[in-house]
Amino acid sequence: MQIDQKPEGKTTILTFAGELDAANLEEVKEKVDGLIQSGHSQLVFNLEQLRFINSSGLGYFIKALKHTHELDGDVVLSQPSKFFQTTIKTLGIDQIFHIFGSDEEAVKHFASDDAVEEQEFEGQRDLSLLGSTDLHFKIIGGPDKTAVGKILSIYEDGPMFKYPADPDAMSIDPDDLQLGGKLAIRFRQPFLDQERFFEMEAEIVFAMDLEDEDATKFRLKYTQVEDRDRELLAQFVSDLDLFRSQAKPHDD
């Protein structure tokens, strides 16, 4: 992760290039916190070259925003990359931050009381990442078949998913998914790690048919999971809670 710094009057533009994740988050915190503590409370985060950001990185952006607000400043975003635009649509980031199409427009946000047009992002805003992540599963002790559902929510002790996601592509009969049944599950969580699969075993602890859909939602509880995976997923849930608490129209 490279961060270039450019002063524009009382405003500081920080250009993020690369990937922001657990490997470099502390370095980013040190740089940005140092700026804020030294009196730079008007910040523009240029995200044009940001290829990836995980949930902890997004959580830190929100903490930096709150820190500048305490100093009567602000953090605004400019030129979001394609990846970050997807993040905006999914998590409703534009309900938390002012977002602009250029650094010049972002700087004007601080320099004038006149209204500056922000970028608008159309799309579903879904803090639980509803239906956006595949969950691959097998019945432990059952047929050697893999099926695919869609994660509805993730909790600290396990996910909730719906199945079938596509009634025309069922490989396991939903009636074979019974309370107390054990599943081997596999899924990615792109806001944690865009490449890695999480793999664990889980038990079905709840099931309910979905209204107006030919599908059922199942709640799982992890029964066998690596400690590191459990920690990462718990942190992700904590980060989502932060988004939920902040995802409301920002103050003008």
* Mean pLDDT for the stretch of residues 43-69: 92
In which residue are the tokens 């649509």 written?
89
Neighbours of 220 (CB within 10 A): 25
Alpha-carbon torsion, ordered 146, 152, 156, 158, to 10 deg: -30
Enter the tokens of residue 106: 């972002």
What residue ranges define each of the domains in the chain, with the CATH number in brackets? 2-125 (3.30.750.24), 133-238 (2.40.10.220)
Question: How confident is the model at residue 211, as a pLDDT?
Answer: 85
Q: What is the pLDDT of residues 205-239, one digit of tens each?
A: 999 999 888 899 999 999 999 998 998 888 888 87
Report the alpha-carbon distance of residue 128 to residue 143 in Å, rounded: 31
Residue 127 has pLDDT above 60, yes or no: no
3-state secondary structure of 31: helix
State CA 226 to chain mean position distance: 22
- What stretch of H or E contains 239? helix 227-246
3-state secondary structure of 20: strand
Mean pLDDT score across all residues of the chain: 87
> Rg (Cα) of the chain, in Å, rounded?
21
Enter the tokens of residue 186: 């596999």
Per-residue confidence at 112, pLDDT binned at 50, 70, 90?
A: low
Write 64-67 long-range contacts (CB < 8 A, 24+): 64/32, 64/33, 64/36, 65/96, 65/97, 67/33, 67/36
Report the alpha-carbon distance of residue 83 to residue 57 in Å, rounded: 14
181 versus 192: which is more confidently predicted?
Answer: 181
3-state secondary structure of 134: strand
Residue 159 has pLDDT above 60, yes or no: yes
Q: What is the pLDDT of residues 63-106, one digit of tens each?
A: 999 999 999 999 999 999 988 888 787 777 888 899 999 999 99
φ, ψ of residue 100 to 5 degrees: the values are -125, 160
Q: What is the pLDDT of residues 2-19, one digit of tens each?
A: 999 999 999 999 999 999
Q: Does the bond joining 164 to the residue before it have cis omega, within 30 degrees of 0?
A: yes
Which residues face 184 on adjacent strands? 138, 201
Report the alpha-carbon distance of residue 125 to residue 240 in Å, rounded: 13
